[in-house]
Amino acid sequence: ETGVTQTPRHLVMGMTNKKSLKCEQHLGHNAMYWYKQSAKKPLELMFVYNFKEQTENNSVPSRFSPECPNSSHLFLHLHTLQPEDSALYLCASSRVWEYERTDTQYFGPGTRLTVL
């Protein structure tokens, strides 16, 4: 079983659709992350969950809604997206040691999202 899996790998949706991206990690990590990578842009951190608590939300529009039901699963719920939201959405996980550091992050393969 690979470390971090993401489904679906590709998604095409209209602006009025509602869809969800799923991420699952099998590494025993306790922190999970959503990143966005648009063409020719750097990785943009969207959300961070440490110990199932959301600790970071980098000014992400409310049309993106994360959910972390447990330390192994992370969802990104999408609704009324815009064409400029088309990008590669990457999930990552890591071990976080309280009051210490965030360890190496391991990434999933990403979901290529196209909004029409």
Interface residues toward other proteins, by CB under 8 A: 4, 6, 31, 33, 42-43, 45, 48, 50, 55-56, 88, 90-92, 94, 96, 98-102, 104-110, 112
Q: Which is nearer to other proteins, 16 or 104 (CB)?
A: 104
Nearest in space to 80 (alpha carbons), one of 35, 115, 112, 34: 115
Q: Which is nearer to other proteins, 42 or 83 (CB)?
A: 42
Burial tier of 37 (Cβ tally within 10 Å: 0-12, 13-18, 19+) = middle
Q: Shortest approach of other proteins to residue 92 CB, angstroms?
A: 7
Q: Which is nearer to other proteins, 10 or 84 (CB)?
A: 10
Q: Shortest approach of other proteins to residue 109 CB, angstroms?
A: 5
Please give the Cα distance from 44 to 90 (Å, whole number): 10
Virtual torsion, Cα 90, 52, 106, 29, nearest 10 deg: -160
Q: Shortest approach of other proteins to residue 24 CB, angstroms?
A: 14
Q: Shortest approach of other proteins to residue 76 CB, angstroms?
A: 15
Pairing, β 111-115 against β 10-13: parallel
